[in-house]
Amino acid sequence: MARKPKSAEENMDRHDEILAAAVSVFSEKGYSGATTSQVAKAAGVAEGTIFRYFKTKKELLSAIVMTFISSLGGDIVLSGVEKIVMESDGKDLRVVLKEILKDRLRLLHRMMPVFQVVLTEALYHPEIRNALHENVLKRAMATVQPVFTRLEESGELRSGLSRETIMRTIIGAFASLIAQSVFTGMSETSFEAEADCTIDLLYHGLICKKEKQS
């Protein structure tokens, strides 16, 4: 008896199962150290099935990245920041920054495997870096522009600063603190203290401003 062809829905389910298995294997072993046979075993399929959906291991990695960027990168990765920004009117900048920082930490814990794959492989694949820049970082910049504008108009933010530089500084500081929290098992109390210190440095800078003598 001839095998019944799989429906489009069944094919999509299998496609997604393979992607999920690849995320798990790549996050554990790294892209270079992983094999398609390991992905197939994790997905519960024959290795040949992998190649019916993805021609090469590199195409499988690209599918993970593009899925992250197109669906997760927009709807999940930035939705929390967008909500915080929309509700930021009247709030102190330090409060807004801390809300964003804690939201990013929660998101990382929830999506650790896929973040690990995408960010690790971005170091080695320029096309991944470009895709992240165009589809995630640029959208993040557009999301926070209204906050910068409001703060400049109110006189709270120094005028003339490069907003791209501000974003890179904030992202770098937050990424460093979040990485420290994840890899050292930092307690919630310690994280709160470190977050306050980091945001204070971002807000006030390093130099103590001395009052001018009359």
Structural domain total, the chain? 2
Note the pTM of the prediction, 2 decimals. 0.72
Same domain, 45 and 79: no
Q: Which residues does 20 contact at the CB level (< 8 Å), separation at least 6? A: 43
Same domain for 135 and 169, yes or no, is yes
pLDDT in tens, 74-125: 556 677 888 898 888 888 889 999 999 999 888 888 888 888 888 888 888 8
82 and 173: one domain? Answer: yes
The answer to whether residue 188 scores a pLDDT higher than 60 is: yes
Give pLDDT tens digits for 111-125.
888 888 888 888 888
Q: Is residue 88 part of a domain?
A: yes
Range of the domain at 170: 61-204
Quote the pLDDT of residue 205.
87
Angstrom distances, CA of residue 210 to CA of 207, 213: 9, 9
pLDDT score for 177? 92
- What mean pLDDT comes out for the span 3-8? 53
Look at residue 51 and tell me whether its pLDDT is greater than 90.
yes
Can you tell me the distance from the alpha carbon of 172 to that of 117, in angstroms, rounded to the nearest whole number?
A: 19
Residue 54: CB atoms within 10 A of its CB come to 21
**Per residue in 129-186, pLDDT tens?**
888 888 778 888 888 888 888 888 888 888 888 888 988 899 899 989 988 888 888 8
User: Do 101 and 119 fall into the same domain?
Assistant: yes
Does 211 fall in a domain? no
Amino acid at 26: F
**43 or 150, greater pLDDT:** 43
Residues 66 and 36 in one domain: no
